Structure 1
C-alpha cells in the first residue's frame, strides 16, 4: 500500500470523510494521468464523492487540471441527484408498506448516509428492507408480485426487484451471520433492542432504522459476508467508520464487545477496527472499545484494494468472462481462498457462510 497514487488517494479520502484541511504533501502535485488513475480507483471503490470533497481541500497549486475536475464534478452532481431520487423512492415504498400494515426496517443505505457530514456525496446502492416476521416478508413479496413486478429470489433468504427503476431487496434476516447456533441469540437481541429503534424522516414519512447496537452488528457482519464471498469496497469501510463516529455515545462498548464475542466474530471486528483507524482515519477514541495492539491488518487492506467494490474489479479473475456470462466466475476458488484467510478471525462464519448460500438457493 505504498505507491504514490495510493498514498494520495487515502490522504484525500480521509480529508473528505472527516473534513480535514490539507497542506501540501510529498505525493502532490500529481500529473494528469495520475489524477485519472486516482479517480478510477475512487470509482472502483464507490468513494468518488468523498475523495472529491478531499480534493477540494488541497492548496490551489495541487489541484488537478480542469479537464479532470469538470467531469468529476458532473459525476458528483449525478451522485447527489441519485440520492435525492432514491429518497423519493424510499418515501413511496414506506407509504406502500404502511397502506398494507406491513412493518419494515431499513438496513444500511440512506440510514447510514445520515452518519456523513454530507449524505448526498455518499454513493447510494439499493434499498434494503428487513421484515421481522416471516408473515410480513411473505406478504410484502406477494403484494409486489400482484403489482406485476417480477421478483428474483437470491441465496441468503432474500429477494430483489425493480421499483420505478430502483433496485429493492427484501430480507428475512436483519444480520448477515450464518452460524445456526447464533440464530436464537440474534432474535433475542432484536427483541431486546426493539425500543431503541431510530427513525429517519424522508419525504414526510418516518422510516424505521435498527437500534444503534444492532446497527453496529448488522453493518460489520454485512462487511464480513462480502469479505467471505467476493470482496468489499472502501465505501463500506467508510460506512463503518462514520457509524462508529456517529453512534459512539449511543452504545455500551462492553456490551457490544461481549455481543461480538458471543457471536464468534470479535477477532474479525478487531481486525476491521485496525483498518478503520490506520487507513480510513477514524480517531481511535471513537471506537466502541479499545483498539487491540499489534494487529497486522495491512494484508486485509491489500485484499480489499485489489478486489474493488464487491470484487467487480479484481484483476486476479477473468473479469471479461464474468461480464460476458453475466455471472460470477471461479466461485469455489474465491470462496476457498477467503475461507483460508478469514477462518481464524470468524471460524463459524467461514464454515457456515458457503453452506447457507448453497442451501438457501433452494429455499425461498
Structure 2
C-alpha cells in the first residue's frame, strides 16, 4: 500500500508522472488514512482531480475528500491574512520580520491552497533580548524556549515568535548555524512577496537560505519528536527552485560545518525514492542506508510524530516525555550519533539558558 501511496503522491505533485495503477475501492480508505497521517490531504486531492473517471474513489469518499480540500483552502486564506497582519503589527513596533515555512512554502506549490497550513512561525530581527524587550509585554506568561516564544493567537491562528530560526543539539554545530543565520538575516527580512488573494505582503526566506534552514528544521523535528512527508514535500519544492554549481558547493560546506550533512544525504534519498526528484536538484549525494532509516521513521511516526504508536506509553507528563527522548536518542545513536549524543547536553544547557533569560 505504501507503494501505491507514493505513486499517487508523485502523480499529485508532478504532471509528468503516470497515473497510479491498481488502486481498488478497498484501497481508498487506507490511502485517505495515510494522507491524513502525513498531513497531505489537500495535496493528494489535487491529484485525485486529475485521475481518469474509472480510477476515482467512490462518490462518498470523493465528496468527503472534496469537503476537506475546501476547508484547507479556506484555512489557507485565513492564515494568509493573519500572517500579513501579524507582520504589520511587529513592523509598527519597529521589528522587521520573516515568515518561516508555512505560507511562504505554500507559494511554491502548484496551487498555494492545497498545502495544509499550520501555525504562523515568524522570525523577528534583532535576537532574543531586542525582540523580547520590544514585544515581550505582549506575551506575558507565554512559554519561551531557546529559539521561540509562544504568542497570543491572532485571528484564531497560533503564532510562534522566533528570535532564532532553528537550532542544533550539538553546541558547536549550533554556534555555527546561528552564525550562518546572523550573517544571512538581512536578505531574508528584505525578501518581500505578495500572498495570494490580496492578503497582503510579507517577507519570506530566499531559496538559498531555505536549503539550509529547512534542512535544520527537518533535522530538529526528526530528533525531537518525528517528521512527516509534508515537511519533506516542502523541501522538495525548495530544491525544485534550482541552484548553481557554486551555490551547491557553498551549501555542502555549510551543511558539513553545521552538522547537517548526514541528514541531508538521507533526505536526498527520500527526494529520489518518494518524489522522483531529478538528480540535478540534489544538493548532496543520497545515502541509501541513512535514507531508508529516515523514510521508515517518517512512515511509522507521521506528521511530527503524532501517529507514532511506539511512544504512546510516554505521552502525558513531562517526565515521560523526557524518558521518551532518551529512548529516542538511544535508537538513533548508531545512525546519527552527533545529534543523539548531544541532546541531553543541550537540554542541560537549555535549562540554564531559561534560568538566565530575562524580559
The secondary structure found in structure 2 opposite 1:156 is coil
How far off is 1:187 after superposition? 4.0
Aligned equivalents of 2:162, 2:78: Cα separation in 1: 22
Answering whether residue 344 of structure 2 is matched by residue 350 of structure 1, we say no
The secondary structure found in structure 1 opposite 2:158 is strand
Aligned equivalents of 1:86, 1:204: Cα separation in 2: 9
Q: Deviations for 1:11-39, whole angstroms, at most 9, x for unmatched residues?
A: 111111223453451x32x124x211211
The counterpart of 1:259, out of the listed 254, 258, 268, is 254
The counterpart of 2:33, out of the listed 23, 35, 40, is 40
How far off is 1:218 after superposition? 1.1
How far off is 1:47 after superposition? 0.4
Answering whether residue 218 of structure 2 is matched by residue 227 of structure 1, we say no
Q: Deviations for 1:209-233, whole angstroms, at most 9, x for unmatched residues?
A: 2333321111111111111112111
Instruction: Give TM-score, length-normalised by structure 2.
Output: 0.87
The secondary structure found in structure 2 opposite 1:313 is coil
Partner of 2:162: 171
How far off is 1:91 after superposition? 1.6
Q: Deviations for 1:278-311, whole angstroms, at most 9, x for unmatched residues?
A: 112222221224x246545223212111111111
- CA pair 252-35 structure 1, distance change in 2 beyond 3 A: same
For the 8 Å contact 1:232–1:311, the answer to whether it is kept is yes
Partner of 1:210: 205
The counterpart of 1:237, out of the listed 232, 235, 247, is 232
- CA pair 74-354 structure 1, distance change in 2 beyond 3 A: farther
Partner of 1:331: 321
The counterpart of 2:7, out of the listed 4, 11, 18, is 11
**Residues 1-364 of structure 1 mapped to structure 2, 5 A cutoff:** 5-20=1-16, 22-23=18-19, 25=21, 27-28=22-23, 30-32=24-26, 34-133=27-126, 134-145=128-139, 151-161=141-151, 162-194=153-185, 196-197=187-188, 198-202=191-195, 203=198, 205-249=200-244, 252-289=247-284, 291-292=285-286, 294-295=288-289, 297-318=291-312, 322=315, 325=316, 330-343=320-333, 346-361=336-351, 362-363=354-355, 364=357
Instruction: Give TM-score, length-normalised by structure 1.
Output: 0.86
RMSD over aligned Cα, in angstroms? 2.6
For the 8 Å contact 1:212–1:251, the answer to whether it is kept is no
- CA pair 184-304 structure 1, distance change in 2 beyond 3 A: closer
The secondary structure found in structure 1 opposite 2:113 is helix
For the 8 Å contact 1:13–1:51, the answer to whether it is kept is yes
Residues paired across the two proteins, number: 348
For the 8 Å contact 2:11–2:20, the answer to whether it is kept is no
Aligned equivalents of 1:204, 1:65: Cα separation in 2: 36
How far off is 1:254 after superposition? 0.4
Aligned equivalents of 2:308, 2:288: Cα separation in 1: 29
- CA pair 129-137 structure 1, distance change in 2 beyond 3 A: same
Unaligned runs of 5+ in 1: none
Between 1:179-188 and 1:92-101, the stretch displaced more is 179-188
- CA pair 105-139 structure 1, distance change in 2 beyond 3 A: farther
How far off is 1:108 after superposition? 0.9
The secondary structure found in structure 1 opposite 2:283 is coil
